[in-house]
A and B are shown apart, each in its own frame.
Chain A
Amino acid sequence: MNESNLLHASLLAYLCAILAGGIDLAQPGNTTRRVASWSLGTGFLLQAGAILLRSGEVGSFAVGSFAEQVAFLTWLVAGIFLAIARRYRLAVLGAIVATIAFAGALMALVDHGGVRDLPAALRSPWLPVHVGLAFLGNAAFAFACLVSLIYLWQERKLKAHSLDARMRGLPSLETLDQANYRCLTWGFVMLTLSILSGVLWAELSFGRLWSWEPRTMWTAVIWMLYAGLLHGRVTVGWGGRQAARLTIAGFLVLLVSFIGVNLFSPGRHAVSFG
């Protein structure tokens, strides 16, 4: 079983989850929902295997290329979904999450590059800690954004007094809002820990706490954005629509910086680790 076999298998599982989830959206049923979440879980495990194999091949944490990073991120989003879908009754989102996971895994497969040499400076046990935390944070923010989109859609329907049959399986506004808060909090904690680990790593191996380059700058901006959002939630009572909109805006900034920095910027954090 090599990495590309595993990726193929996981793509198949995700596809199955998309189909079952789509049928479930059109006509909710216990069986289709169960099939959808089991397929997604299978795809998740298969992709985990692929990521592990790839990491073994590279000799380090396999997030070297942009595609690998995207795939890792979407894999984490699927993982978060699997972990909390039941609790927050988010199972209806299965089809969307499976689509996202499918797209990520597909990128990893298409961009299946050879072995890249990692610069000596980055060969460190700090790498998986630092990068893993950063990605966990990003995945949590992505999930918060997804939840917020659902919130806004349902909120608009309720405001307009026009209910929709598709709302049947959705969680209540209050539940979605709580899920948003949870994801933001966890994302923020992860992001903060990731920054701290980066600072520590930089201090220990380069003798500098902070180097100004595009990625670190953007990260600082994003950290402040989410800090402000969480602060507003806790003190002013931002919630509901406001929080949902800000969450989506915050994630858009994150997305733009993630793509922009990875594709166009130099620095230690650039994709090729050049």
Chain B
Amino acid sequence: MSAQPQSKVTRLRPDGGARPDLEFWVVGISHHTAPVSLRERMAFSAEGLAPAARRLVASSPGVVEAVVLSTCNRVEVFAMVRADADPVGPVVEFLGREHSVPPALLDQHRYAHRGRAAVRHLFRVASSLDSMMVGEPQILGQLKEQYRLATDDGIASARIRPCFERAFRVAKRVRSETGIASKAVSVSSAAVDLAQRIFDDLGDKTAMIIGAGKMSVLAARHLQGHGIASVIVTNRSFDRAVEMARGFGGTPVPFERYTQYLHLADVVLGSVATSGHILGVGQMADVMRARRRKPMFLIDLGVPRNFDPAINDLDNVYLYNIDDLSRVADEHRAEREREAIRAEEIVEEETERFWRGLSARDLTPTIVALRGRLDQIRRAELDRALSALQRLEPPERRALEAMTTAIVNKILHAPTAMLKALASESDAESAAEIAEMVHRLFALEPLEGEARGGPGVRDDGDDQGE
């Protein structure tokens, strides 16, 4: 066979493997890699997100769709990028330009993942496994909101959508199947957690705040956030009590007579500066009688102690001090770490499943096989014709070569475009049916499921940049 110019077809099939046209990438900085001094300079405003993504796509060759995620702990660009382009440089330059940060500095702190590693990263972020406070629930809301902004703008669309929609589902599964989000790890959330172990519903309960300690105000805010019905406030300075009560939408009572109101409270927070106990066992026993022994939860946040520790021995009274609460928070933290391991397993499993689904949806191998088949026919027929036409000069041979290649390309143009369109529109099952039909129509080699990569996502295994 004569020397042939490298045709487009042969370049498309390196070693017979499939090369998808788009890859999923993430490039960014987070609390894992960058100090807060850098992170705070990098934050985008909510309204600035979509325009920024637009500028990114315009300035970065190969980037087709993008979602920018910006929170206090991370600034990340999720993008669909053409397979032959490397987006890391352009994205870093873009981030530097947007925030006037030297790209060289960013390069020291950025990470980049592609393909399957990028998918896993997105799933971990959505499931709050990559958060500073692992399991904190806000990140999912932020991700959803910022993804919505990008889709409303149109800068994120059909190619990137499956990754994000699956990420939201994975996050939901992690939350429902592990205790990762249910554990109170701060002192004030431990207080709320305990209140919920004792009381069925905080909606008909009353809290009393004695003193204006920072911790007790924080805990009271937390209780209010969990629906506690009303708040009574008392303070040595009545003016301060009135002021605080206004802040809580509660009722102020004078400090001298607060015990008269104590039986109304189900949760009591004490943080008064005092030399001795402000509440003794005898007083508390009277209070319990007055409220017909309904359970009471006392939280002593004062140093020295506000409440006599012996109060805890009374029936239906639960007294916790600041040390008890931090121990509870510590235990919860340890348990959350155990839950995080289970959550990681779920993310791993979902990444694997998503990956396999994508691979199944890919029609690239079918397109490649189809091209290969037609090219094989072309070449066989060409060889036969050329051997019959011995006397042809090289220029004429080349003309025949070019003509037959052009015919094959013209024939393939419409079906290739159609197959690509179908691949992005259909689910894994119907894509497999389409592939099967094409293979049978043109008597192509049978499909080998495992050998194929996914469209828009190519797993190059190792991550870059970390």
A interface list, Cβ under 8 A from B: 28-30, 154, 158-159, 161, 163, 165, 167-168, 170-175, 178, 236-242
Contact = CB atoms under 8 A, between A and B. Distances in A.
A118 to B, nearest CB: 47
B345 interface: no
A55 B293 CA distance: 48
A158 B197 contact: yes
Contact of B182 (A159, A168, A173, A174): A168
Interface of B: 176-177, 179, 182, 194, 196-201, 292-295, 312, 315-316, 318, 320, 324, 327-328, 331-332, 335
A168 B315 contact: no
B196 A172 contact: yes
A242 B293 CA distance: 10
A242 B315 contact: yes
A168 B179 contact: yes
Contacts of A168: 179, 182
Given A165-B335, A237-B292, A237-B294, A172 B312 contact: no
Contacts of A167: 197
A6 to B, nearest CB: 35
15 contacts: A158-B194, A159-B318, A163-B197, A163-B331, A167-B197, A168-B179, A172-B198, A172-B200, A173-B197, A174-B199, A175-B200, A236-B292, A237-B293, A240-B315, A242-B293
A161 B317 CA distance: 12
Contacts of A171: 200
B257 to A, nearest CB: 24
Q: Which 6 A-B pairs have the closest CB atoms?
A: A237-B292, A174-B200, A161-B324, A240-B316, A175-B200, A172-B200
B246 to A, nearest CB: 30
B268 to A, nearest CB: 16
Given A158-B194, A161-B327, A173 B292 contact: no
A175 to B, nearest CB: 4
Given A161-B328, A163-B328, A240 B197 contact: no
B177 A30 contact: yes
B381 to A, nearest CB: 60
A174 B295 CA distance: 8
Contacts of A165: 335
Nearest to B205: A174
A240 B293 contact: yes
Contacts of B324: 161
A29 B328 CA distance: 23
A11 B144 CA distance: 48
A143 B302 CA distance: 42
Contacts of A173: 197-199, 295
Contacts of A170: 197
A168 B338 CA distance: 14
A175 B199 CA distance: 7
Given A174-B295, A238-B293, A154 B316 contact: no
B200 A178 contact: yes
Nearest to A160: B312
B293 A239 contact: yes
Nearest to A89: B200
Contacts of A161: 320, 324, 327-328
Q: Which of A173, A175, A238 has the most CB of B within 10 A?
A: A173
A199 B100 CA distance: 93
A60 B233 CA distance: 66
A241 B200 contact: no
B199 A239 contact: no
A174 B204 CA distance: 12
Contacts of A158: 194, 197-198, 318
A172 B327 contact: no
A236 B293 CA distance: 9
A154 B197 contact: yes
B328 A30 contact: no
Contacts of A159: 312, 318
